A and B are shown apart, each in its own frame.
Chain A
Amino acid sequence: MENSEKTEVVLLACGSFNPITNMHLRLFELAKDYMNGTGKYEVIKGIISPVGDAYKKKGLISAHHRVIMAELATKNSKWLEVDTWESLQQDWIETATVLRHHQEKLEASSCDQQQDSPVLERPGRKRKWAEQRQDFSQKKSLEQTKTKGVPKVKLLCGADLLESFGVPNLWKGEDIAKIVGDYGLICITRAGNDAQKFIYESDVLWKHQNNIHLVNEWITNDISSTKIRRALRRGQSIRYLVPDLVQEYIEKHSLYSSESEERNVGVILAPLQRKTAEADT
């Protein structure tokens, strides 16, 4: 009997995507190759979840545009999609909550699939049909349990996010624990040693190290959104750093300028604000 006990995985990337770049998209490709390559996982989907405007990061333009650009960027992808739930929320939402939302969503749809179709218990002609149907649905759920359980959501990120766990007040300790304990992290990094050291120096990360996958990025791919925005302000080309459709969209709507970069200047980043508020109560 074929032992296809691979865990299905959904990669979730949270972030500003301000704008989305080829580097963001590469993270998904690298993660997928890596996870599939272990033989233990099968990556079935990648989700890009742009952060809401309430995050209040400097230079963050409206979620509306950021979502559209991400959609344009993933237009030709068979497995990547954009999810707007996070961006539509009124308040900023912790990453752990976004992970939970998507995991619950997966569990709900998985339940729907596995539910046996109602068996018709009418005698007579229909019995044969009902029995057939019952056989079929039983066979179906057998197949389902034979291959995989519920797909698992994992957080996809770069080393910068991993190391941001160390920034005071940026993350709640319990959230970090949830992220690495309940879900798991796939971190694409150039500096594997630094990341490993960081994990070693953190008790909670160390505890869940088996749930933290470090993937080496051999190609230095420094296409940060910050640099993209800077290039745009200076009238420099961003072609081949972002998908063509994204570049065209940015140009058409004149999205990034010195003015847009000044947004939220002087405003405290939402997670920091929340931490301070909680400390005060």
Chain B
Amino acid sequence: MKSRIPVVLLACGSFNPITNMHLRLFEVARDHLHQTGRYQVIGGIISPVNDNYGKKDLVAARHRVAMARLALQTSDWIQVDPWESEQVQWMETVKVLRHHHSELLRSLPWKEGLDQGKVDSPGPAAVPELKLLCGADVLKTFQTPNLWKDKHIQEIVEKFGLVCVDRAGHDPKGYILGSPILQRYQDNIHLAREPVQNEISATYIRRALGQGQSVKYLLPDAVIAYIKEHDLYTSPGEE
């Protein structure tokens, strides 16, 4: 009997702030991979981007990490990892993938598996795969000139793999067809359908907060409380 390949999902992004939609990405991706029968998702990692990314309105990483942590309090499989945000400078996504992949390999109970010889556990042969989780909008950005290095895109889809969740107004299949690199490795690009259209953008959240409007039920209550407590996103051009 073929055993499932263990997978860890890694989501990179601003998470400025984290929203229910970000959290949904993980749930939808996991369901999708399980449905293929080939994978077993064993974990999820949220990696907020470094402050030096220079994106407009980006609040301090310590806040974004803290908010993600609060949001994930009730999740039993997703965690936040501040490694990327703690580096001296911004780094390309592929490097974040490489880091987490080696961490993953390092933390494996290799020897245990061999000795016990359990049938059900992944076993020494099934090396966990680390896949980049993103929305269809990120897939589109592969086309933006100079935003991604071609060799990085290739490494991402060849060595790691992509799980891309549908988003309204995007055509992920089209993006793949329009890129020779993506086409070549399309078997390693999993397109997950989000049946419930849920366009909670962090941009909208920031604007609503700036205008004193409610964002309840769009992000976890604990995150909203944190934002209020630390006076984040109260006006344009935060920090």
A: residues with CB less than 8 A from B are: 22-23, 25-26, 29-30, 32-33, 76, 218-224, 227-228, 230-231, 235-237, 239-241, 243-244
- Name the interface size band of chain B: 20 to 34
**Are A240 and B20 in contact, CB atoms less than 8 angstroms apart?**
yes
Query: A235 — nearest CB in chain B belongs to which residue?
Result: B31
* CB<8 Å pairs between A and B, sample of 8: A29-B216, A30-B214, A219-B200, A221-B197, A228-B196, A230-B195, A237-B30, A239-B27
Known A222-B197, A236-B31, A239-B23; further 15 A-B contacts with Cβ < 8 A: A25-B216, A26-B217, A33-B213, A33-B214, A219-B201, A220-B168, A220-B198, A220-B199, A221-B197, A227-B195, A230-B195, A231-B196, A237-B27, A240-B24, A241-B198
B187 within 8 A of partner (CB): no
Write out the residue numbers on chain B whose beta carbons fall within 8 Å of the beta carbon of A25. Answer: 216-217
Query: A27 — nearest CB in chain B belongs to which residue?
Result: B217
B53 within 8 A of partner (CB): no
Write out the residue numbers on chain A whose beta carbons fall within 8 Å of the beta carbon of B28. Answer: 237
**Are A219 and B217 in contact, CB atoms less than 8 angstroms apart?**
no
Write out the residue numbers on chain B whose beta carbons fall within 8 Å of the beta carbon of A30. Answer: 214
With known contacts A29-B217, A33-B214, A222–B198 Cβ distance under 8 A: yes
B110 within 8 A of partner (CB): no
B218 within 8 A of partner (CB): yes
With known contacts A220-B198, A241-B198, A29–B30 Cβ distance under 8 A: no
B226 within 8 A of partner (CB): no
Find residues 3-43 in chain B having any chain A CB closer than 8 Å to their own CB. 20-21, 23-24, 27-28, 30-31
**Smallest distance from the beta carbon of A227 to chain B beta carbons, Å?**
5
**Are B217 and A22 in contact, CB atoms less than 8 angstroms apart?**
yes
With known contacts A240-B24, A241-B24, A227–B216 Cβ distance under 8 A: no
**A222 CA to B197 CA in the complex, in Å?**
5
**Are A241 and B214 in contact, CB atoms less than 8 angstroms apart?**
no
B221 within 8 A of partner (CB): yes
B146 within 8 A of partner (CB): no
Write out the residue numbers on chain B whose beta carbons fall within 8 Å of the beta carbon of A228. Answer: 196
Over the window 34-66 of chain B, the binary record of Cβ atoms lying under 8 Å from chain A Cβ atoms (1 yes, 0 no) is 000000000000000000000000000000000
Q: By CB atoms of chain B within 10 A, which of A76, A237, A240 has the most?
A: A240
**A191 CA to B201 CA in the complex, in Å?**
19
B204 in complex: contacting residue of A22, A32, A218, A224, CB < 8 Å = A218
Query: A237 — nearest CB in chain B belongs to which residue?
Result: B27
B102 within 8 A of partner (CB): no
A220 in complex: contacting residue of B23, B24, B197, B216, CB < 8 Å = B197
B27 in complex: contacting residue of A219, A235, A240, CB < 8 Å = A240
**Smallest distance from the beta carbon of A158 to chain B beta carbons, Å?**
14
B20 in complex: contacting residue of A22, A222, A237, CB < 8 Å = A22
B: residues with CB less than 8 A from A are: 20-21, 23-24, 27-28, 30-31, 74, 168, 195-201, 204, 213-218, 221
**A262 CA to B196 CA in the complex, in Å?**
22
**A230 CA to B193 CA in the complex, in Å?**
14
**Are B199 and A219 in contact, CB atoms less than 8 angstroms apart?**
yes
**A166 CA to B21 CA in the complex, in Å?**
34
Write out the residue numbers on chain A whose beta carbons fall within 8 Å of the beta carbon of B201. Answer: 219
With known contacts A218-B204, A241-B24, A231–B195 Cβ distance under 8 A: yes
**A32 CA to B24 CA in the complex, in Å?**
26
**Smallest distance from the beta carbon of B91 to chain A beta carbons, Å?**
29
Query: A33 — nearest CB in chain B belongs to which residue?
Result: B213
Write out the residue numbers on chain B whose beta carbons fall within 8 Å of the beta carbon of A33. Answer: 213-214
**Are A223 and B196 in contact, CB atoms less than 8 angstroms apart?**
yes
8 interchain residue pairs of minimum CB distance:
A237-B27, A222-B197, A29-B214, A220-B199, A240-B20, A22-B217, A25-B217, A240-B23
Write out the residue numbers on chain B whose beta carbons fall within 8 Å of the beta carbon of A32. Answer: 214
Q: By CB atoms of chain A within 10 A, which of B198, B213, B214, B217 has the most?
A: B217
Query: A34 — nearest CB in chain B belongs to which residue?
Result: B213
Write out the residue numbers on chain A whose beta carbons fall within 8 Å of the beta carbon of B195. Answer: 227, 230-231, 236
Query: B213 — nearest CB in chain A belongs to which residue?
Result: A33
Query: B212 — nearest CB in chain A belongs to which residue?
Result: A33
Write out the residue numbers on chain B whose beta carbons fall within 8 Å of the beta carbon of A76. Answer: 221
**A182 CA to B216 CA in the complex, in Å?**
30
Write out the residue numbers on chain A whose beta carbons fall within 8 Å of the beta carbon of B214. Answer: 29-30, 32-33
**A243 CA to B217 CA in the complex, in Å?**
8
Write out the residue numbers on chain A whose beta carbons fall within 8 Å of the beta carbon of B196. Answer: 222-224, 227-228, 231, 241
Query: B221 — nearest CB in chain A belongs to which residue?
Result: A76
**Smallest distance from the beta carbon of B74 to chain A beta carbons, Å?**
6
**Smallest distance from the beta carbon of A132 to chain B beta carbons, Å?**
42
With known contacts A239-B23, A240-B20, A26–B197 Cβ distance under 8 A: no
**Smallest distance from the beta carbon of B128 to chain A beta carbons, Å?**
21
**Smallest distance from the beta carbon of A256 to chain B beta carbons, Å?**
15
